[in-house]
Amino acid sequence: MNTKNNVFDHFGAIKPAALVAALLVLSGCSAMQPKPEQKLEAVAPIVSRPDGSVRGNTDFERVAQLWAAAEEARKNDQDAIALELLYDALEVSPQNALLWSRAAEIQLDTLEAALAESYATKSNAFAEDNRPLLHRNWMIIEHARNMRGDLLGVRSAHKKVQEYQYQ
């Protein structure tokens, strides 16, 4: 299959005020186990959009299916299922920065601040020079630190948010 799956089209921009109020709630429809797949070609670059959202392509059909199922579950307020589906997708594509970031958002939404920060940091490690994704991840880290009462950590994360805020 030579066509790339645009699985991350709905990974929209996060508004700073909306992040605290209603960070994306993700969950999945079914707990399908990933089957082994061969990688078709190198993963396409992550694309930044004018509205600040991030879109990425994958050559793994299974990742595309799991992402879609996780998004559907998220819309149905099924956080645990969404996380399981994202974890399944990460087994297929463990260096996918968008998957890690989405899992971080769910963890933040479910008040798991330490896991949210850990996943966002992991996403940053794979994000390379994707400024919109780095901005999103640093916002997650800032809010996670705030939830834990780490005021010095909030300040340092906020500096990173500002650094990546303007593309």
104 lies in a domain?
yes
Give tens-digit pLDDT for 11-23: 544 433 333 333 3
Q: What is the CATH number of the domain that holds 142?
A: 1.25.40.10
Question: Would you call 25 exposed, middle or buried from its count of C-beta atoms within 10 A (0-12, 13-18, 19+)?
Answer: middle
pTM score above 0.75: no
User: Residue 55's pLDDT band (boundaries 50, 70, 90)?
Assistant: low
pLDDT beyond 90 at 150: yes
What mean pLDDT is reported for the chain? 75
The Cα 65–Cα 1 span in angstroms is 14
50 lies in a domain?
no
The Cα 124–Cα 161 span in angstroms is 12
160 lies in a domain?
yes
45 lies in a domain?
no
1 lies in a domain?
no
130, 95 in Cβ contact below 8 A? no
Distances (CA, A) of 16 to 32, 137, 158: 34, 12, 11
- Which tokens sit at 131? 């400024």
Q: Tell me what percent of the residues of the chain surpass a pLDDT of 90.
A: 56
Residue 90 lies in domain: 16-40+57-165
